[in-house]
């Protein structure tokens, strides 16, 4: 008889991990996050709507809007019904990664989140779940001492967890992005094997575009045939720039000699921020979908051949969210932030399937 796993999704955000684990067949009991903007999205898709076969009579996972620094072990137990030393319990800790990312972003706003791994560690030490998953940026592993990952790994050793970790590119795990992530899977009850890597990379052409059900759109327009398929407005100058940018991977160098279109900050600097204003390639993994993916000035986020940026739904699809996953928010910017901060559900699904194999002795 196969044993079912249950999970708690720490730092759950809009529910990427929860979505993927439930697709795999793991029952998520709750997602924990301090962000009020994600609550409606998380519960609409996971608690009340999707994956009904996994929901019991009181619905799917709860969204616990809690500060992990203030949440007690006893309160978590009372709210979710979990207990210590449960061999079939999974803890997932995908703490905010902005401070440890290699992207060129300011770190001041993210300083208060940089040591959340240590707070997650306290819950692992107290409850000693059968399984632990961490997903984060490679910088977490490269700066083990600063990020406190070294202390977390020491705890796993002390508690006699078997664990394996690696930095991987999600394009080899069914996600059409060139997105490197640090993954750790630990088990207190079984030996760990990491998910198998695909031979081929996932490509943009297999996810968006006309043949995948995305009709042509103009900047600033909305397509009602697909949920939330809406595109941001572009200035007349940016539309001119895209018209001069070759399809399928063209970049801003195609109009670098045009005095009207050239951007002063990039004049005579062809190699800095080369991807901004660039078009996505059809036959390659797309760029990392960040919180700024709606704006072509923030990366290679222009459509491969249409003169516009990505739509909300295209960004979510490149993150491998189901097309019926509906994002709640008071603005497109708020929704894009939820999508960009999420763990790709397909990556989570594959991790979940591997956990089930491990737990049932199939590896």
Residues 6+ apart with CB under 8 A from 100: 114, 136, 137, 139, 140, 143, 147
Please give the pLDDT value at position 2: 67
Residue 247, token pair as written in the block:
């399809």
Please give the pLDDT value at position 274: 87
Residues 275/299, Cβ–Cβ less than 8 Å? yes
pLDDT along the chain (363 residues), means of 10: 86 96 95 94 81 52 94 97 97 72 46 74 97 92 81 95 95 96 95 94 98 96 94 97 97 94 89 92 97 96 98 98 95 96 97 93 68
Domains of the chain, earliest start first: 6-196+344-359 (3.40.50.150), 208-319 (3.90.120.10)
Please give the pLDDT value at position 14: 96
Please give the pLDDT value at position 268: 85
pTM of the model: 0.91
Please give the pLDDT value at position 49: 57
Residues 6+ apart with CB under 8 A from 348: 16, 17, 18, 19, 20, 21, 23, 24, 135
Residues 189/87, Cβ–Cβ less than 8 Å? yes
Please give the pLDDT value at position 99: 41
Please give the pLDDT value at position 107: 41
Please give the pLDDT value at position 347: 97
Residues 6+ apart with CB under 8 A from 10: 32, 68, 91, 92, 93, 94, 95, 120, 123
How large is the C-alpha radius of gyration of the chain? 21
């Amino acid at each position: 008889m196969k044993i079912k796993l249950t999970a708690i999704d720490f730092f759950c955000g809009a529910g990427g991990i929860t979505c993927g684990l439930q697709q795999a067949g793991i029952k998520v009991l709750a997602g924990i996050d301090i962000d009020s903007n994600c609550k409606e999205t998380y519960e609409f898709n996971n608690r009340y709507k999707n994956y009904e076969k996994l929901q019991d009579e009181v619905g799917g996972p709860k969204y616990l809007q809690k500060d992990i620094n203030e949440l007690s072990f006893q309160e978590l137990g009372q709210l979710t019904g979990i207990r210590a030393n449960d061999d079939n319990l999974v803890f997932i800790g995908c703490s905010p990664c902005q401070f440890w990312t290699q992207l060129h972003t300011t770190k001041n706003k993210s300083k208060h989140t940089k040591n959340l791994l240590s707070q997650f560690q306290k819950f692992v030490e107290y409850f000693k779940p059968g399984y632990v998953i961490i997903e984060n940026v490679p910088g977490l592993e490269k700066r083990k001492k600063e990020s406190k990952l070294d202390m977390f790994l020491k705890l796993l050793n002390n508690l006699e967890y078997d664990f394996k970790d690696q930095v991987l590119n999600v394009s080899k795990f069914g996600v059409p992005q060139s997105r490197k992530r640090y993954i750790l899977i630990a088990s207190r009850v079984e030996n760990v094997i990491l998910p198998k890597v695909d031979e081929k990379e996932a490509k943009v052409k297999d996810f968006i575009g006309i043949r995948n059900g995305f009709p042509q759109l103009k900047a600033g327009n909305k397509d009602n045939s697909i949920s939330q398929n809406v595109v941001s407005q572009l200035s007349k100058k940016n539309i001119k720039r895209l018209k001069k940018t070759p399809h399928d991977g063209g970049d801003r160098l195609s109009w670098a000699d045009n005095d009207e279109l050239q951007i002063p900050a990039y004049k005579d600097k062809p190699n800095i921020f080369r991807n901004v204003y660039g078009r996505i390639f059809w036959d390659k993994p797309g760029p990392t979908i960040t919180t700024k993916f709606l704006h072509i000035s923030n990366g290679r986020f222009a459509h491969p051949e249409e003169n516009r940026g990505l739509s909300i739904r295209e960004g979510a699809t490149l993150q491998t969210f189901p097309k019926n996953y509906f994002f709640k928010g008071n603005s497109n910017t708020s929704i894009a932030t939820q999508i960009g901060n999420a763990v790709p559900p397909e990556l989570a699904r594959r991790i979940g399937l591997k956990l089930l194999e491990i737990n049932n002795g199939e590896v």
